[in-house]
Amino acid sequence: MKKIFLTLVLVSNLFAQNAANTGFSFLKIGSGAAEMSLAEATASKLSSPFSLNYNPALISQIDFSSIGLMHNEWIMDLSSEFLIGNTKVYGIPFFVTINSTKISDIEIRTRPGEAQGIFDAQYFFGGIGSGFEILNDLSVGFQFKYLYENIYVDEANGVAFDFGLFKKNLIQHFDAGLSLRNFGKVNQLSSERTELPMEFRFGISYSGELSTGKFYFLPSFEVQKYLKYEKLNLLFGLETNYDNLLSFRFGYNSGRDLNNFTFGVGVKYKFLSFDYAFLPFKENFGTANLISLYIKL
């Protein structure tokens, strides 16, 4: 039976190599190509509406309704789809998130020789969140999530909670964000209960006019820690924006041995924004390609 889960264990490690022994590892997959190309250093930076999945308090910085879609092609037959939408109802901002992740064609092997069959592992979460300003330039946000996973003949579900704070101009031209993610509980998968990948993030981003000509530079820095693991990860992102139309992005994550560096580009035209992220892996694991777009409504 252990061989059935070999692929799942390896993919879990690729999501975040130092995330300790937790379940529901698909929650470690990032959302938004813009955010992923910045090594996910976005707890203090609204790169796109997908940033709400990292810090729900950032919804206070969105003055438009939108809907966004992301397609994620990872290695080892893993694919992920992510949808996010935000709007205001009676003046109160809300957002919803839906994620569906699948690992295809996992071989069933309980003895040497030919595989006895194949199966797909399915993962899902759906969330709803909101946020508001509580003091001058200080906002709070939250998201409730329903979680589900199906591996072979076993199923598990549960709930999780995200909480965030955002402070604009913590010091002049520097914004700060803090978030606590994936706090909750799930029931047993087969005969074993797993813990969620609970994490802490604190980031600072520059929001002034660091520019040359029509090029604007927007750096961000973040510390991130999975609470069940002692190591602190350092995340760095740099976005170069040309005339608010074309963006080039670079990121570095100290905690991922197989894919420290990330790259990406983005294009904006009127109400439509398109982003692409490229994640190269070491040791012949190939690459991951992420595409996302969102539409202002």
DSSP string across 67-94: EEEEEEE-STTEEEEEEEEEEEETTEEE
Q: What is the pLDDT of residue 143?
A: 98
Of 163 and 23, the structure prediction assigns the larger pLDDT to: 163
State residue 37 phi and psi, 5-degree precision.
Answer: -70, -15
Give the start-to-end residue ranges of the domains of the chain: 2-296
Average pLDDT, the chain: 87
**% of the chain beyond a pLDDT of 90:** 60
For residue 179, how far is the Cα from the chain centroid?
Answer: 13
Bridge-based pairing of strands 66-73 and 78-89 is antiparallel
- The arithmetic mean of pLDDT across residues 254-282, rounded, is 91
Would you say 236 and 256 are in contact if contact means Cβ atoms under 8 Å apart? no
For residue 150, how far is the Cα from the chain centroid?
Answer: 21
CATH architecture of 2-296: Beta Barrel (2.40)
Q: What is the pLDDT of residue 61?
A: 94
Of 3 and 193, the structure prediction assigns the larger pLDDT to: 193
Burial track 59-98 (b if 16+ CB lie within 10 A, e otherwise): bbbbeebbbbbbebebbeebebebbbbbeeeeeebebbbe
Residue 229: pLDDT above 50?
A: yes
